[in-house]
Structure 1
Amino acid sequence: MNLEEVREYCLLLPGVTEDSPYGPDMIVFRIEGKIFLHMPLEYADQRISIKLPPEEGQRLRENYDAISAGYHLNKVHWNDVLIEHTFSADQIKNWILQSYNLVVSKLPKNLRLKYSDN
């Protein structure tokens, strides 16, 4: 996958918005105002930062050189994933969806119900 494919996939998810609150070199994707994916544009090696359950993120970081603790983010919850030529598109989409669903699960109940089919 590349950054444009990640962007297209994120925008297919219900309720997702994108913006650049940190400047033109960083795009974030949100659900109900809560960030579930950071997409830095300044790196030569394309990457995304996603939220995962702490134990899964730790396991992935231990098993894959292409996954590390989120740079400038909470290293318990956020994980940087190199996306080009590292993992299948389906695997990357699975992690993006997992991040999205993790953030949705923390929303107030009335908002969570809007996204319960994902």
Structure 2
Amino acid sequence: MNGSTVQKTAADCAEELPGAHLEYPFGPDWEVYKVRGKVFMLMTEVPGRPVVILKADPGEAHALREHNSHITPGYHMNKKHWITLEGGEGVDKALVRELVTDSYRLVVAPLPKAEQPVDPRTYGGGTRAAR
């Protein structure tokens, strides 16, 4: 899957998530997806390469980076809690959708229960950890 397809798949997934919306707070080159005012996904180009930047559990983020050369520390973000995803071998629609949904759930989880658009413990089905 190439980088443009990764971004399209990520955007399509994000637009389906309850309460999610797109903003451009850093200008037209940065697409920022938020839920209840909290960022869960950013998309831009890093020297000409389309990338998707997502929140990830620190342990899982480390494992993802170890096992996939197209997943690197979060560009311009906390390297422990964010990952950057590029297109390439081993990156498919299922992985992109799973990472976007996981990022969304991580951002929704600490919100007060009344503000959560979904139950983050059950929304989105199984994650890698549950398999």
Name the TM-score, length of structure 1 as normaliser: 0.89
| Larger displacement relative to structure 2 (84-93 or 28-37) | 84-93
User: C-alpha displacement at 1:96, in angstroms?
Assistant: 0.5
Which residue among 57, 60, 70 is the counterpart of 1:56? 60
Could you tell me the percent identity over the aligned residues? Answer: 29
User: C-alpha displacement at 1:27, in angstroms?
Assistant: 0.5
| TM superposition outliers: structure 1 runs of 4+ over 4 Å | none
Q: Secondary structure at the match of 1:115?
A: coil
In the alignment, which residue of structure 2 is the partner of 1:96?
100
Name the TM-score, length of structure 2 as normaliser: 0.81
**In 2, Cα distance between equivalents of 1:10 and 1:106:** 19
Q: Secondary structure at the match of 2:49?
A: coil
In the alignment, which residue of structure 1 is the partner of 2:12?
8
Q: Secondary structure at the match of 1:91?
A: helix
Runs of 5+ consecutive residues of structure 2 not aligned to the other structure: 124-131
In the alignment, which residue of structure 2 is the partner of 1:109?
113
Letter in 1 for 2:6: N
In the alignment, which residue of structure 1 is the partner of 2:49?
45
**In 1, Cα distance between equivalents of 2:96 and 2:52:** 10
In the alignment, which residue of structure 2 is the partner of 1:26?
30
In the alignment, which residue of structure 2 is the partner of 1:81?
85
* Kept after mapping to 1: 8 A contact 2:6/2:86: no
* Kept after mapping to 2: 8 A contact 1:49/1:79: yes
Letter in 1 for 2:84: D
**In 2, Cα distance between equivalents of 1:57 and 1:103:** 15
Runs of 5+ consecutive residues of structure 1 not aligned to the other structure: none
Residues 74-117 of structure 1: CA deviation (Å, up to 9, x unaligned)? 111010011355411011100100000010101112112x3126
User: C-alpha displacement at 1:2, in angstroms?
Assistant: 3.4
The alignment of Structure 1 onto Structure 2 pairs a total of residues equal to 117
